[in-house]
Chains A and B, each alone.
Chain A
Amino acid sequence: MKSGSNLERVMAAGHFAVTAECGPPRGADPDHVIKKAELVKGNVDACNVTDNQTSVVRMSSIAGCMLVKQSGIEPLLQMVVRDRNRIALQSDLLGASALGVRNLLCLSGDHQKFGDDPQAKNVFDIDSIQLIHLVKTMRDEGVFPSGDKLDGAPKFLIGCAVNPFADPYEIRVPRFKLKVDAGADFVQTQCIYNMDVFKKYMEDVKRQGLHERCKILAGVTPLKSAGMGKFMNRMVAGIDIPDSFIKRIADEPKEKQAAKGIEMCIEQIHELKEMEGIAGVHVMAIEWEEKLNEIIGGAGLLPRPVVEHETVH
């Protein structure tokens, strides 16, 4: 075991994994996280805690992870390279590991221009792929990137994100390969709506054998309405929701659109479960955590398996 995390054990035992995410609040109130965690609990193998997503200042992801952990859920720490240089990154990695965080997602981070403080200085001392390499070096070699020996190596299952729908398409699989070469153990994809493009992407991924080197968790986000779909298509970089997908929701009366969105999300998970090379799903029910149980249960993925340390070899 690289990290011994629950997520790692579940995947190593061959189960279809489930993760979700929890955005920390815009303030210091812990109850916000604890309430969300209650909705996530029991439905997932690990829960992402985002790191100042879209550059909007929030409670730190490490603190959020601790609150999630106290609620009895395994946290998955998101870490962006936008706000911290390599000194701060290493130090936070050590701290998070010491506090018992065992899963990590290495990200670039949205540009600060999208957040509260567009005048902030950005860091990008190393990029997200180099962060993967940095963590792997610390974990597997027990040394800092500088070469000095660590007094206790951090234990993380190392994750990355990919967007199969971003431009230019031809670089998507090679860039994923770079992340795997750097040391990514798992990947969570951007939310998938265009299954045709995703299948093509997976064919290319499998041709390179990346699915055998890195566990692939397919990202899904249920749409609350046809309007949300249109909005995301327009406003979120690298989101591809086919018109036919939105139309199926738009054909429903307003009050039934949310239910349709959930039904389609469940449908997608069923389809993803059958796809070769997919190790799990990452369900991003943004500000809709109360639906996680319905979605994940509806997809036949509950209860979540319990895999003891000893059962995995």
Chain B
Amino acid sequence: MITGTPKPIDEVLSMIEAYNKIIVAGCYGCVTVCRVGGDKEVQVLSSTLRLAREAAGRPVEIKEVCLERQCDPEYLEPMRPYIEDYQAVVSIACGAGIQFMAEKFAKTPLLPGINTGFLGVTERQGEWAERCQGCGDCVLHLTGGICPVTRCAKSIFHGPCGGSVGGICEVDKEIKCGWQMIIDRLKSLDQMDNYGKLKPYKGWDASRDGGPRRIIREDMK
């Protein structure tokens, strides 16, 4: 899923400084699962903003909505009849959802209420961790199902580097060395042959370096 963290409330307050009638919009997709942008978070954020603005003597009217998904046009359309009655939208969907809403409603400023993070997993209650950078050319079959692009701090393809100590990455005591994990897993899969091969230079053009990407599936059009 796509993860994120709430923006500090002061930052959101300063974004809405100029407005007194806004929408706070959540999303029932990924951000609900990682508890940063669902209907509950819409309620909490809206109440917090209202209270802060009341205390400052400049109350703000807030409409609370939560869409099925902010990244699909069909779920954005129902906002059309009323969106221009409001001066701005604070969206707590991921950056893709926020932008898509902005694209659909040309006259309404869109304000991000969260910092979108990464493609990750729920490791345990309240703890999410990155697993994929969407590089566009997956190599997990060669690396024991562990991603060198994401889980090695240097995204190297022939690790580990000299900074790996006791399974820990040089970057931080809390970060496991991705390459130690790859090797442990290749060993347990009896696939160490994969390690000894020189891998071609990564084609980063399949990643974001090729410019914003697009997927077209003729079969689905």
CB <8 Å contact, B180 and A168: yes
Q: Is B81 an interface residue (CB 8 A)?
A: no
Number of A-B contacts defined by CB within 8 Å: 87
CB <8 Å contact, A129 and B161: no
Q: Is A86 an interface residue (CB 8 A)?
A: yes
Q: Is A3 an interface residue (CB 8 A)?
A: no
Interface stretch, picked from A14-22, A57-65, A170-178, A243-251, is A170-178
A30, B128: Cα distance in complex, Å = 49
Q: Which of A86, A111, A122 has the most CB of B within 10 A?
A: A111
CB <8 Å contact, B163 and A238: yes
**Shortest distance between the CB of B66 and any CB in chain A (Å):** 34
Contact of B157 among A86, A127, A171, A181 (CB under 8 A): A127
Once A168-B180, A171-B183, A182-B198 are accepted as A-B contacts, the answer to whether A108 and B165 lie under 8 Å apart by CB is no
Q: CB-CB < 8 A to A128: which residues of B?
A: 156, 158, 161
Q: Is B86 an interface residue (CB 8 A)?
A: no
Q: Is B19 an interface residue (CB 8 A)?
A: no
Q: Is A82 an interface residue (CB 8 A)?
A: yes
- Which single residue of chain A is at the shortest CB-CB distance from B158? A129
Q: Is A206 an interface residue (CB 8 A)?
A: no
Q: Which of A86, A124, A133, A181 has the most CB of B within 10 A?
A: A124
Number of interface residues of A (CB under 8 A): 34
CB <8 Å contact, B165 and A167: yes
Q: Is B78 an interface residue (CB 8 A)?
A: no
CB <8 Å contact, A86 and B160: no
Q: CB-CB < 8 A to A190: which residues of B?
A: 162
Once A86-B201, A167-B180, A178-B198 are accepted as A-B contacts, the answer to whether A122 and B160 lie under 8 Å apart by CB is no
Q: CB-CB < 8 A to A174: which residues of B?
A: 195-196
A177, B183: Cα distance in complex, Å = 16
CB <8 Å contact, A167 and B167: yes
Q: Is B164 an interface residue (CB 8 A)?
A: yes
Number of chain B interface residues as a range = 20 to 34
Once A110-B170, A122-B154 are accepted as A-B contacts, the answer to whether A237 and B196 lie under 8 Å apart by CB is no
**Shortest distance between the CB of B86 and any CB in chain A (Å):** 36
CB <8 Å contact, A237 and B171: no
Q: CB-CB < 8 A to B160: which residues of A?
A: 166-168, 171, 175
Q: CB-CB < 8 A to A125: which residues of B?
A: 201-202, 204
A170, B180: Cα distance in complex, Å = 11
A238, B172: Cα distance in complex, Å = 15
Contact of B166 among A108, A111, A130, A167 (CB under 8 A): A167
Q: CB-CB < 8 A to B202: which residues of A?
A: 125-126
Contact of A108 among B162, B180, B198 (CB under 8 A): B162
CB <8 Å contact, A108 and B164: no
Q: Is A298 an interface residue (CB 8 A)?
A: no
Binding site for B on A (CB under 8 A): 82, 86, 108, 110-111, 113-114, 122, 124-130, 133-134, 145, 161, 163, 166-168, 170-171, 174-175, 177-178, 181-182, 190, 237-238
